[in-house]
Amino acid sequence: MRKNFSNDSSSKNYIRKNDRKADRNAERKPSRFGTQEKTYRKVYEDSTEGSDSFSKKRVGKSLTKSTESYSRPTKKFASSTGDKRSYNSVPRKPVLIKRKVEAVSDGKIRLNRYLANSGICSRREADEYIAAGVVRVNDVIVTEMGMKVGYDDKVHFHSQLVRPEKKVYVLLNKPKNCVTTSDDPQDRLTVLDLVKGATNERIYPVGRLDRNTTGVLLLTNDGDMAAKLTHPKYNKKKIYHVSLDSQLTNDDLTKITNGIELEDGLIVVDEVSFVDDTHKEIGVEIHSGKNRIVRRIFESLGYKIIKLDRVYFAGLTKKNLSRGKWRHLSQMEINMLKMGSFE
Record the pTM. 0.58
> In the chain, which residue ranges form alpha helices assigned H by DSSP?
8-28, 32-48, 53-58, 111-117, 123-132, 191-194, 223-230, 250-258, 293-299, 331-339
Q: How far apart are CA 113 and CA 147, in angstroms?
A: 10
Q: How far apart are CA 105 and CA 287, in angstroms?
A: 36
* Non-local CB neighbours of 274 within 8 Å, separated by 6+ positions: 248, 253, 281, 282, 283
Structure confidence at residue 130 (pLDDT): 92
The predicted-structure confidence for 314-333, as pLDDT tens digits, reads as follows: 999 999 999 999 999 999 99
Give the model's confidence band at 26: pLDDT under 50 very low, under 70 low, under 90 confident, else very high: low
- Of 69 and 298, the structure prediction assigns the larger pLDDT to 298
Structure confidence at residue 20 (pLDDT): 65
Q: What is the mean pLDDT of residues 144-160?
A: 87
Whether the per-residue pLDDT at 44 is higher than 70: the answer is no
Whether the per-residue pLDDT at 149 is higher than 70: the answer is yes
Whether the per-residue pLDDT at 141 is higher than 80: the answer is yes
Name the burial class of residue 321, with classes exposed (0-12), middle (13-18) and buried (19+) by CB atoms within 10 angstroms of its CB. middle
Tell which phi-psi region holds residue 292, choosing left (phi > 0), alpha (psi between -120 and 50) or beta: left
Give the model's confidence band at 165: pLDDT under 50 very low, under 70 low, under 90 confident, else very high: confident
Q: How far apart are CA 269 and CA 18, in angstroms?
A: 87
Answer yes or no: 210 catalytic. yes
Catalytic residue among 106, 210, 222, 245: 210
- Max distance between CA atoms of the chain, in angstroms, equals 131
Q: Which residues pair with 205 in a beta bridge?
A: 219
Q: What is the mean pLDDT of residues 132-137?
A: 92
Structure confidence at residue 191 (pLDDT): 92
- Of 37 and 267, the structure prediction assigns the larger pLDDT to 267
Give the model's confidence band at 63: pLDDT under 50 very low, under 70 low, under 90 confident, else very high: very low
| Helical packing angle, 223-230 and 331-339, nearest 10° | 60
Total count of residues recorded for the chain = 343
Tell which phi-psi region holds residue 28, choosing left (phi > 0), alpha (psi between -120 and 50) or beta: alpha
Q: What is the mean pLDDT of residues 146-152?
A: 85
Identity at 75, one-letter amino acid code: K
Q: What is the mean pLDDT of residues 36-61?
A: 43
The predicted-structure confidence for 70-125, as pLDDT tens digits, reads as follows: 445 544 444 444 444 544 555 555 555 544 444 444 668 888 888 877 767 778 88
Q: What is the dihedral of CA 277, 278, 281, 283, to 10 degrees?
A: 30
Which of 17-31, 175-189, 192-206 is least confident? Answer: 17-31
Write the CA distances from 281 to 246, 252, 287, 308, integer angstroms. 9, 14, 20, 10
